[in-house]
Chain A
Amino acid sequence: DTGVSQNPRHKITKRGQNVTFRCDPISEHNRLYWYRQTLGQGPEFLTYFQNEAQLEKSRLLSDRFSAERPKGSFSTLEIQRTEQGDSAMYLCASSFRGGMLGNTIYFGEGSWLTVV
């Protein structure tokens, strides 16, 4: 039984460069979420997909950010023209709607981004 998988786990990039993170959810889960967490804060919602459809985006998701889930399985989160303020941990999560814990969301280990 594999959990949510994210890669790379760590990324250091120069300001202005583009970065992409990948997330592989738990296989039977049809919902996939992206969160961002900065030091001393709880995770903040960025966006979520149900199957391949992106159903909600936070105001935190500026136009430099784009997320895709083309076949309803894995997802990518791309940040273009990175800024130092983008330095954070990017958490992916997945869930399966329905059942007693229908909204329980299971997280991956996160991808740390440092913009220098």
Chain B
Amino acid sequence: QQQVKQSPQSLIVQKGGISIINCAYENTAFDYFPWYQQFPGKGPALLIAIRPDVSEKKEGRFTISFNKSAKQFSLHIMDSQPGDSATYFCAAIMEANNNAGNMLTFGGGTRLMVKP
């Protein structure tokens, strides 16, 4: 069961443009939504994260927008740079659930290419 759906699968953006990646989730018990960035040959690394009690979180050029009623959240990369070219994964977890089986559920990933 795919609990976190991510789109688009791939994205090409010109340098300086805005990259937008969207995710939708099904389980309303999810209460923590991180984004991971993965470069070729490397493991995913935490980029930015948000909890559903806020609608937006900004860190530098990266912003998460969160719509709790629609069960959707998105990553915006402002002034995209060639160095941002990577695969981005959204994820979700029930942070408040301390029982066994609390797992991070990943979206399918978006391969971003920023053209110079």
A binds B: no
Interface residue ranges, A against B (CB under 8 Å): none
Interface residue ranges, B against A (CB under 8 Å): none
